[in-house]
Amino acid sequence: MNFFMPMIPPTITQQEHKVTIRNGRPIFYEPAELKAARRKLLDSVARFAPEKELTGPIRLTTKWIWPSGSEDFHWKTTKPDTDNLIKMLKDCMTRAGFWHDDAQVASEITEKAEGPHPGIYVEIEELTL
């Protein structure tokens, strides 16, 4: 299964929770920008969810492409980090019903670049030995 979600990928990641102190206790919360990014991803991936959850081990390949301002393609070596990008996407895919638990992702390849066609390319393979 593979699909492309045309969009400008979010740059805020799940690791960007905020903390405030109430009554001397730390309270962690998600800023509005993070909630909006999660909703954007969930709405986008939900359109491609399979009718039935995938079972067994999975390889997830993603290619995140931000606008380059030109027709050239080049690797993105600035933030956000690939490991932070993929966490929120996998959580959204779990909520959308791609699989029961994102722990099923036994192999993942995550790339980030800048190019003329921004979006997120996703490929999912069920693995066998």
Q: What would the pLDDT profile of 83-126 be if each residue is shown by its tens digit?
A: 988 999 999 999 999 999 999 999 999 999 999 999 999 999 99
Residue 43's closest CA among 87, 8, 95, 2?
A: 95
Distance from C-alpha of 51 to C-alpha of 76, rounded to nearest angstrom = 34
Q: For residues 123 and 64, is the Cβ–Cβ distance under 8 A?
A: no
For residue 16, the model assigns a pLDDT of: 58
**Sole residue written with tokens 């800048």:** 114
For residue 103, the model assigns a pLDDT of: 96
Q: Which two tokens stand for residue 95?
A: 């909520």
List pLDDT tens digits, range 4-39.
999 999 988 665 566 778 888 887 767 788 889 999
At residue 78's C-alpha, the angle toward residues 73 and 81, to 5°, is: 105
Report, in angstroms and rounded to the nearest whole number, the Rg of the chain calculated over CA atoms. Answer: 16
Q: For 88, which DSSP code?
A: H
For residue 29, the model assigns a pLDDT of: 67
List pLDDT tens digits, range 45-85.
999 999 999 999 999 999 999 999 888 999 999 999 999 88
Q: Quick one: how far is CA 20 from the chain centroid?
A: 26
Domains of the chain: 2-126 (3.30.1330.70)
Q: Which two tokens stand for residue 85?
A: 């990008």
Distance from C-alpha of 36 to C-alpha of 67, rounded to nearest angstrom = 20
Q: Which two tokens stand for residue 92?
A: 């959204």
2 confidence band (pLDDT: 50, 70, 90): very high
